[in-house]
Amino acid sequence: MSSVENLRKQAKLYVRWHRERRHTVAAIIWDVLPGFANLTDGEVLDHPFRLADAQALVARRAGYESWRALKQGQPRMTDESRADYPSQPILLNIEPTVFVTDFQRSLAFYVDQLGFKIGFTYGEPPFYGQVVRDAALLDLRLVHQPVVDRSRDPDLLSASIWVSHAKQLFVELQARGASFHQALRREPWHGQGQGGFIVRDPDGNLISFGGRTD
């Protein structure tokens, strides 16, 4: 199989990942394609992303100005013509891994009670996957053992998520029937007009949400 054909398959994979709303591919898109540079991850995933866009992405990552230049074997872009990279590496996002003992049960909890969407699942039957809500990503990993020992620290968190308005989300999750480890309240480390709450998943994982409350 030719290298161009392999790159064409890679472009189709990017289109599928965009359709599946994988935030990891959103970061690649806005980092490489000038037309997406000023968009957030969520805006990138809401924006139409065609095969031609994906092919342009593959070409630019390979050092070519366009997909046509790649196919024709034209010279790669010079250092002067490439988009400048930051002088220091930039951390783009973080994906906490939450360990679970019943994958389907946990998937249903995060979707139905916390309002996430399924980013992807892997395995047959699935043992690994990702749930996404706006810019928040959580990876779920099946394990065959107790997921956390809280005998000495009953408030040990598995993940902490910042939200634009914590009170609004708390009311929403109450209506969804979520199980709370701690109701909405203001802690000493919260700023004025801020607060947080903690939900408990079926395995006892504690997920903290914090943000504005006024």
Indicate if 105 and 201 belong to the same structural domain. Answer: yes
Q: What angle do CA 150, 156, 162 make, to 5 degrees?
A: 155
Question: How many folded domains does the chain comprise?
Answer: 2
Range of the domain at 105: 97-212
Tell me the pLDDT of the chain averaged across its residues. 87
Indicate if 8 and 53 belong to the same structural domain. Answer: yes
Indicate if 60 and 129 belong to the same structural domain. Answer: no
Model confidence at 76, pLDDT cuts 50, 70, 90, reads confident
Q: Are the C-beta atoms of residues 38 and 44 closer than 8 Å to each other?
A: no
Q: Are the C-beta atoms of residues 205 and 158 closer than 8 Å to each other?
A: yes
Query: Does residue 78 sit within a domain?
Result: no
Query: Does residue 34 sit within a domain?
Result: yes
Query: Does residue 88 sit within a domain?
Result: no
Indicate if 102 and 200 belong to the same structural domain. Answer: yes
Distance from C-alpha of 47 to C-alpha of 37, rounded to nearest angstrom? 12
Report field, pTM of the whole predicted structure over 0.95? no
Indicate if 101 and 207 belong to the same structural domain. Answer: yes
Query: Does residue 109 sit within a domain?
Result: yes
Query: Does residue 180 sit within a domain?
Result: yes
In the predicted structure, residue 83 carries a pLDDT above the cut 60:
no
Indicate if 67 and 136 belong to the same structural domain. Answer: no
DSSP 54: H
Model confidence at 108, pLDDT cuts 50, 70, 90, reads very high
Query: Does residue 60 sit within a domain?
Result: yes
Query: Which pLDDT value is given to residue 78?
Result: 61
Query: Which pLDDT value is given to residue 49?
Result: 93
Radius of gyration of the chain (CA): 21
Stronger pLDDT, 62 or 194, i.e. the higher one: 194
Specify the CATH number for the domain of residue 162.
3.10.180.10
pLDDT tens digits, residue range 148-188? 887 788 899 999 999 989 999 999 999 999 999 999 999 88
Indicate if 8 and 59 belong to the same structural domain. Answer: yes
